[in-house]
Amino acid sequence: MDYEAKIVAECNAEFAQLQTYRALFAEQWDEVAQLADPPSRNTFYYGNYNFPGQKKSDRQVDASAMQALDRFASILDSLLTPRNMTWHMLGSESDYVMKNRDARLWFEAANRLVFKYRYAPIGNFSAQNQNIYKHLGAYGTGNMFVDQACNEAGVKVQGLRYKSLPLGEMFLRENHQNLINGFCRWYRMTASQAIDTFKEKAPAKMVEQAAKSAQMPFDFLHRVCPRNDHDPRRLDAKGKPYASYNICLTTNEFISEGGYNQFPLASSRYIQRPGEVYGFGALMGVLPSMKTLNAQKRDFLTQGHRAASPVYLVEDDGIMSWNFRPDAINSGGWKDGKPTVGILPTGEIQISKEMMAEEKAIIDGACLVDLFKILLSDPKVFSATQVVEMISQRGILIAPVVGRQQSEYLGPMVVRELALLEDMRLLPPMPGIIREARGSGQIMYTSPLARDMRAQEVAGFNRTLETALSVVNATQDPGALDTFDFDVIIPSVGQINGMPESWTASQEKIAAK
């Protein structure tokens, strides 16, 4: 067996195994999609085909779950990656490095570059990020592919590009530490698209087919995995720690081999259960409530229809023919001072509304909607201390649920972005003190969620300072304030609140003051 045939056989073997392990998940995902994400129906199995424009909402009677999913994605976006603020900073784990102002300024400059290229139009990060959060809420697993940007002609340019890979295309593998370290992705392209993408590497059978029908679809497989024959001294694909293979599944032919210096996929799970590779989504946990609400809505509509257009009861005389149009006159509708027609009772519609409200509350709770209703329900004007306390409480409630996204999703994505910017030589020259402290970098999150999680520290300082000030006012002795080291406290509070380093004064300016 030659080298290319061996690669094709290995890719097909792993792809078949990963399909088997994922089959039961696909069934559950399709059930969730029917009620909360209809466009994703029938997309979780290899070989599926959905005709463009196909209607998929025929099994959906109530849209509450779909609305809750959209709100869930917006909530995660506002908590973790709000576009109107810098939601993370770069730094070093070494206190010695962070005492150096040049090092702090370099981290700030590098951080600004990451945000500049991340939110550039060619990157399309915001739209793809929303898809990730919807996947997490509905199916429990989100996969963001990060790579160097390309222009319309497929030529690489300076910049980053982001692609939220549909879960139906992704088949994941883990290492011994339960970290995603590889995947097989099957995808479909027309013959003309494949020729534009692979150019001279396109299979001969595909080129022949393109001459007959350029829109003929073909199935492809992209496999990424750690390379067993990695040699860092080589300059070709084997010199990179992650292998990348592309094969055509339709013709069972080898297309190309490449590699990555860093794992290109930022994959995260919402909740991970023991022994499972894929996550467990927020809506997967309330699937019974979604089904119940869908059935209740059907009954509610039936009752409402009967109330608006009631079923009439008349005498069985075989003569009367009733006219129910407006302003119509029905002779014989009144006899002996009583109407000769009645209405069939339809039952109590109010109980249906109450039952539906209970199921909607369960779905909203799973999608974190109810936590934000608490902050909006009281119209009173809160003091600054009360606001900090409420934020702190919100952080305690939300952090265990969505804090995982910082370590599994955002962290690997930022590392990948920095590595790509460094490969493109877009980062500023690194100070020597940072180069000497290799491997000591860290990501400090400044998103609303991160601030909520650390707001308890600021709240504790505010409470203690208020107590100390009350003692000073009562005793007229300012000695109670000697306990506070404001030179340490103020910069720390500024860091927690996300204040840029360039806004602080240097040691020389402080000394001059």
Dump pLDDT digits (tens) for 202-239.
888 778 877 777 788 889 999 999 998 888 888 888 89
> Residue 372 has what pLDDT?
67
Greater confidence, 397 or 18?
A: 18
In this predicted structure, the answer to whether residue 241 has a pLDDT above a threshold of 90 is yes
Q: Name the pLDDT band for 383 (thresholds 50, 70, 90).
A: low
Q: Name the pLDDT band for 29 (thresholds 50, 70, 90).
A: very high
> Residue 374 has what pLDDT?
55
Q: Which of 129-133, 198-202, 269-273, 292-296 has the lowest mean pLDDT?
A: 198-202
Q: Name the pLDDT band for 152 (thresholds 50, 70, 90).
A: confident
Q: What is the mean pLDDT of the chain?
A: 84
Highest mean predicted confidence (pLDDT) among 161-165, 189-193, 404-408, 429-433: 161-165
In this predicted structure, the answer to whether residue 269 has a pLDDT above a threshold of 80 is yes
CA distances from 19 to 149, 171, 217, 227, 264 (A): 30, 7, 21, 22, 21
In this predicted structure, the answer to whether residue 153 has a pLDDT above a threshold of 80 is no
What digits encode the pLDDT tens for the residues 295-350?
989 888 888 877 777 777 777 665 567 777 777 777 777 777 777 777 777 777 77
Q: Name the pLDDT band for 453 (thresholds 50, 70, 90).
A: low
Tokens, residue 333: 């509708």
In this predicted structure, the answer to whether residue 418 has a pLDDT above a threshold of 60 is yes
Helix (H, G, I), strand (E, B) or coil at 245: strand
Helix (H, G, I), strand (E, B) or coil at 405: helix
Mean pLDDT score, 503-509: 72
Mean pLDDT score, 465-493: 81
Mean pLDDT score, 144-160: 88
What percentage of residues in the chain have a pLDDT greater than 70?
88
Half-sphere exposure at residue 429, Cβ-oriented, CA atoms within 13 angstroms = 2
Backbone angles phi, psi at 262, to 5 degrees: -130, 155
Residue closest to 408 by CA, chosen among 256, 265, 312: 265
Mean pLDDT score, 391-401: 63
What digits encode the pLDDT tens for the residues 101-123?
888 889 989 999 999 999 999 99
Q: Which regions of 230-330 does DSSP assign to beta strands (E)?
A: 242-248, 253-260, 265-269, 312-314
Residue burial 319-354, b: 16+ Cβ < 10 Å; e: rest: eeeeeeeeeeeeeeeeeeeeebeeeeeeeeeeebee
Highest mean predicted confidence (pLDDT) among 151-165, 312-326, 356-370, 413-427: 413-427
Which helix (H) or strand (E) segment holds residue 222: the answer is strand 217-226
In this predicted structure, the answer to whether residue 386 has a pLDDT above a threshold of 70 is no
Mean pLDDT score, 18-33: 93
In this predicted structure, the answer to whether residue 363 has a pLDDT above a threshold of 50 is yes
User: C-alpha angle with apex 294: 289 to 298, nearest 5 degrees?
Assistant: 145
> Residue 377 has what pLDDT?
52
In this predicted structure, the answer to whether residue 461 has a pLDDT above a threshold of 60 is yes
In this predicted structure, the answer to whether residue 52 has a pLDDT above a threshold of 50 is yes
> Residue 431 has what pLDDT?
87
Q: Name the pLDDT band for 501 (thresholds 50, 70, 90).
A: low
> Residue 284 has what pLDDT?
94
What percentage of residues in the chain have a pLDDT greater than 90?
39
CB of 140 within 8 A of CB of 129?
A: no
Cα(322)–Cα(126) distance, rounded to whole angstroms?
60
The model's pTM is: 0.82
Cα(154)–Cα(149) distance, rounded to whole angstroms?
9
> Residue 205 has what pLDDT?
79
Mean pLDDT score, 463-474: 84
Mean pLDDT score, 483-510: 73
> Residue 16 has what pLDDT?
94
Q: Name the pLDDT band for 379 (thresholds 50, 70, 90).
A: very low
